[in-house]
Amino acid sequence: MKDMLGLEIKKGNKARCLAEAIVGPVREYISRHTTVSVERASLRLCGVDGMDQEGTPVPNIMANQLKAKTEHGAVRYLLGACLKKGMSVDEMSRAVADGFDISSVEIPDMALLEEEARKYVERMKTLVLENRKLRAEKILKYKSNENSPLLYVIVATGNIYEDARQAEAAVFQGADIVAVIRTTAQSLLDYVPFGATTEGFGGTYATGENFRIMRKTLDIAGEKAGKYIRLVNYASGLCMPEIAALGATERLDMMLNDSMYGVLFRDINMYRTFVDQHFSRLISSYADIIINTGEDNYLTTADAFEKGYTVLASQFINERFAFDAGMPSRLQGLGHAFEMDPDIPDGFLYEIAQAQLVRELFPECPLKYMPPTKHMSGNIFKGYVMNTMFNLVAKLTGQEIVLLGMLTEAIHTPFMQDRYLAIENARYILSNTASLSDEIIFRDGGIVQKRASEVMDRTLDFLGSVAERGLFESIEAGMFADIKRSASGGKGLEGVFEKSPDYWNPFEIMLKEELCIGGTK
C-alpha cells in the first residue's frame, strides 16, 4: 500500500506507545485472573462435550461442580478424576452427565497430572495443526479464483439446515466468506447449546455441531466452485473462549472477536470480557484464525463524522491486545465502516480519508470494512447507490475483507436474490476499477489529506486522555461509542476468579509457549 496521505510515521508510533500504556495495566489484571468461561474452554479442549437429560452442557456441569475450586484450574480436577477412576475424558463426560461429581475426587500427584495432560494437549495440537495445514493447502490451490477484496456475506435464518442451503447458493453466486450470524442475545447466554439447532431469532445458535454442518457444506460447495470458502462465526459474549475453542477444532477461518464490544454493546462486565478475550485470542492465534474486531459498531451509536477518531483509537487498542496474545498482524481483521450521513457535503471524500488512513496505519492487517447500515432506509434504490459507493471506497483504499451491503437493509432479513444483487454489484465495481488505486493520488493539502490528518491528531489526543484516566475508568465515563458501563456492573462478574499460586492450566501453558509469550503462570 503506497503512502497517499503523507502521514508522519512518528504519529503512528506515538499512537502505539499510548495503546501500550493503556493496555499495560489491563494485561497485569488478566495475568492474575481466570474466568468460568476460560475454564470451560479448557475442559472443551480436553474433549469434554455432551449434555445431561435436562439439556445442560457437560462443561457447565463440571464448572459448577468446581466453582469453589476454580482458582486452581478446572483441568486439574477433570484429569485427576479420570486418573482415579481409570476413565478417558469421553467416559468421564458421560459419567458427569449421569450425575457423577468430579469435585469429590482426591487429586493425585502433580507429576501424574502433567503426564496425563500431555496426551490431551498433544491431541489438541495435532487437530489444530492439521486444520491449519488443510486450510493453507486449499487457499493456495484456489488462490487465483478469489475476489480481491474477499466478498463477505451473511446467512441468518435461525435454522442451520436452511443456512447451509443459503450459504451454498451464496458460494455459487461468487461469495468468498460466509458468516452465520448468531441468534439474537446468544452472547448473553453463559453456556454453549449442544447439537444442531433449527430455531433462532435473527440468527442461528453457535454450537459445535452447527459449525461442523456449515464447514462440511462450504467445503463441498467450494470444491464445486473452485474456491476455498472461509467460514465465520462469533467468538464473543459470555462464552467467548469456548466458542473460540470450538472454532479452532472445527476449522472456522474467521471469528468476530473484539476486546470491548461485549462491554459496550451487550453490557458484559469489563473484567470478565478482558480476561476472556485474551484466552480466546490465544486459541485463535494458534489456530491461525483471523479475528474481526467491532469498531464499526461505534458508529451506530456515535456520529461517524464527529467520532471517527474513536474507531482509530480502538483499533490501536485492539492491535495491542492481539499482540499480547501472540497474534500477528496478518490475523487482525481490524474493523471499520462506511457510516457517515449521506447528506454531508463531500462525505464520500471523508469516507475515503478514513478508510485510507486505517489502511496506511495497519498495512499488514486484513482489514474488515463494513457497509452503510445506520442511514439505510426503505428507499432501496438509494440504498443500492450507497452500497455501490461503499464498494468503490473498499477497492480504492485496498480493503481486504468487505462485508457486502444489502439494498433491503433495515427492511427485512435479506432474501437470496438480495444477496445475489449485492455480490453482482461488488464484482462489477471490483472488475471495472481493478487498477484505480494505481492511477489515483490525493492532492497535497486537499480535503482527503486534511481530514486524515485531523482524525489522526484527534486520535492521539483521545488515546492520551484514555492513558491518563485508565481504560476501565474511560469506559465508565462513556468515552467509547458514547456508552457508559460500570466496572462493577454488567453480566458475568461473578464468573471472574483470581488465580491461586498453584493455578494450573496445561492449555494456557502450551499456547503461550507455542506463541512465544512470556509468563505462562
Q: Of the listed 227, 307, 368, 491, which one is catalytic?
A: 368
Asked if 249 contacts 134 with a C-beta cutoff of 8 angstroms, the reply is: no
* Residue 490, phi-psi category: left (phi > 0), alpha (psi -120 to 50), beta (remainder): left
Based on the number of CB atoms within 10 Å of its own CB, is 438 exposed (0-12), middle (13-18) or buried (19 or more)?
Answer: exposed
Based on the number of CB atoms within 10 Å of its own CB, is 412 exposed (0-12), middle (13-18) or buried (19 or more)?
Answer: exposed
- Residue 288 CB coordination number (10 Å): 20
According to DSSP H, which parts of 269-410 are helical?
A: 270-286, 298-301, 308-324, 347-361, 380-396
Active site residue 205: no
**Helix (H), strand (E) at residue 234:** strand 230-234
The 3 state secondary structure assigned to 434-503 is CCHHHHCCCCCCCHHHHHHHHHHHHHHHHHHHHHHHCHHHHHHCCCCCCCCCCCCCCECHHHEEECCCCC
Hey, is 179 helix, strand or coil? strand
- Which residue shows C-alpha cell 470480557? 273
Q: Of the listed 77, 191, 228, 261, which one is catalytic?
A: 261
| E strands present in 404-514 | 496-498
Hey, is 413 helix, strand or coil? coil
Asked if 304 contacts 340 with a C-beta cutoff of 8 angstroms, the reply is: yes
Active site residue 309: no
Active site residue 368: yes
**Residue 499 to residue 57: CA distance in whole angstroms:** 24
Q: Of the listed 288, 296, 324, 418, which one is catalytic?
A: 296
Task: Please identify every residue annotated as catalytic.
Answer: 261, 296, 368
